[in-house]
Amino acid sequence: MLSRDIFAEPIDTKAPRQIPEKFNGSSSYYINPVGIQSMVISAKELGKDTALSIDSMTAFSARVHLSKDSSSPPAISFPLVQGMACVTGLFNGATTVIRSGVFFKTMTRVTKDPKPDTAKYTFTLEDGSTWRVYAYRTKGDPLELKVTNNGLAEAKKPFFGVVQVCKDPLTPGSEALLDDGAGIYPVTLSLSGSASGSEGRYSFDFTKEGHGSGELYMFALPHHVESFDQGTIKRLQKLQLQSQTKGLATLVKGTSWTMIEPDLPINMSFAPWDPKKGSLDRLSDQAKGTIRAAAAKEVAQNMIAQSNLDSMYFSGKALAKFATIVYVVRDMIGDKTMTQTGLDQLKAAFAIFAANKQKYPLVRESIVSSASYATGNAGADFGNTYYNDHHFHYGYHILAAAMIGFLDPSWAKQNRDYINALVRDVANPSAKDQMFPMWRNFDWYHGHSWAHGLYAAMDGKASENGGKDASERVANGEDRTKSRAQRI
């Protein structure tokens, strides 16, 4: 569906949520209302022929343009960056329109501008919420809005400059903070990081544009705040808004954040692991006997039949299962004969995928499943053809390969090109890679991967499964896996 505008719709803790059931005092789920369209930025020139285009896309930002038709320059451009405090529209001579699906109760032009060349309006909506609208003119006349009806305010003249819509929670000092940030907006952010021993650091550096007076303000999620270094903590502000799924977001002043993770699991291996006790790889004789009996039955199963399926996802799960069994047999049980029997079978099963001879071979440089092409079903193999959930699907293959390579380093050298291609697909860290995007599904701002591929998601993308996400990270990350990375 093509939109003629961009709307702001923050979550309100006072808004009704459906909580149908309770279990031991906990709600079974929450539903936040969507599509309310509290405040909408648009232009009078945008109509039925509105054309949408996007450029400047990175893993953290994009710029969206709305033009009156496909042959016209943008009427409005929207720089969208994760964590932005306000919705910003850049106008180049279009006539500003502010709409509301909640309806205006009052609109007031603030008589004293918060900074030079910057007009300020306060909107109170029928739901009781308060919104600040700032208009920093870069040339021409100031923005003059006139309320046409309780859902529409229009500018009297074309406007050149920056229009921003910001929700004000009306907490002490909140209006002054928004005033200080008026006319300033983020363009993108860059990520950097380092690790030393068990301590890891990563930083967000925001690029800003706009008014020369004031500071950039961005919203941090709770997991950012918990990890901020002392320098970033000092720039935390008291303004907070509810996020969709992460709790209260807190405003931070400045263009750089640094987060510290002091307890990275650098000694994690493939064995069961505890944050305090480390690897739990020592078993009693009784436990070894029980596991050996079960493993003997499972190693004797037909690994090829169980793994060469019509789904990269289920195939990967089977390969990772058998790889884990063989690892346990060798490193925790110590049975070399059973290890060799299982490893030979596992290598043969994996070789089908390394040669791309599975039921639905990978296409497009051997990255996406051919299942949807063969069946005509976009959901075949859980949408792998549409890049859906590659970090889940290939995470199992990568984990299985890491285990086989751990057991037989010579095998890793022979198969490293294939495995590296899968790793690059889901965990490429370089913006210079011309074949693969950065991170694919992992979101450094939110701190986890997102499910879904090239599908429209009316209520947004889902996190879906942290355990599956973690299996791929175990195979790709942490200090212990440097040796595995070198082998592969």
pLDDT digits (tens, 9 = 90+) for 425-449: 888 888 898 888 888 888 999 998 8
CA dist 391 and 471 (Å) reads 9
Lowest mean pLDDT among 284-288, 303-307, 336-340, 436-440: 436-440
CA dist 269 and 479 (Å) reads 10
CA dist 143 and 107 (Å) reads 14
CA dist 488 and 486 (Å) reads 5
Which of the pair, 13 or 330, is modelled with greater confidence? 330
Lowest mean pLDDT among 89-103, 248-262, 354-368: 354-368
Number of other CB atoms surrounding residue 470 within 10 Å = 15
Please name each of the domains of the chain with its CATH number. 6-187 (2.70.98.30), 189-261 (no CATH), 273-486 (no CATH)
Catalogue the E-assigned strands of 344-484. Answer: 362-363, 368-369, 442-443, 448-449
Which of the pair, 268 or 309, is modelled with greater confidence? 309
| pLDDT at residue 29 tops 90 | no
Please report which residue ranges of 244-362 form alpha helices under DSSP H.
285-299, 303-307, 312-327, 336-354
Please report which residue ranges of 43-200 form alpha helices under DSSP H.
174-181
- pLDDT score recorded for residue 485: 35
| Residue 355 burial (C-beta neighbours within 10 Å; 0-12, 13-18, 19+) | exposed
Number of other CB atoms surrounding residue 127 within 10 Å = 14
- pLDDT score recorded for residue 22: 65
Reported confidence tier of residue 385, pLDDT bands at 50, 70, 90: confident
Q: What are phi and psi of 120, to 5 degrees?
A: -140, 130
pLDDT digits (tens, 9 = 90+) for 126-183: 999 999 999 999 999 999 999 999 999 999 999 999 999 999 999 999 999 999 999 9
- Contacts with 463 (C-beta within 8 Å, 6 or more apart), sequence order: 245, 448, 449, 450, 451, 469
| pLDDT at residue 358 tops 80 | yes
pTM, two decimal places? 0.88
Across 26-43, average pLDDT: 82
CA dist 62 and 82 (Å) reads 9
Reported confidence tier of residue 479, pLDDT bands at 50, 70, 90: very low
Reported confidence tier of residue 387, pLDDT bands at 50, 70, 90: confident
- pLDDT score recorded for residue 26: 72
| pLDDT at residue 28 tops 90 | no
Q: Are 237 and 171 in contact (CB under 8 A)?
A: no
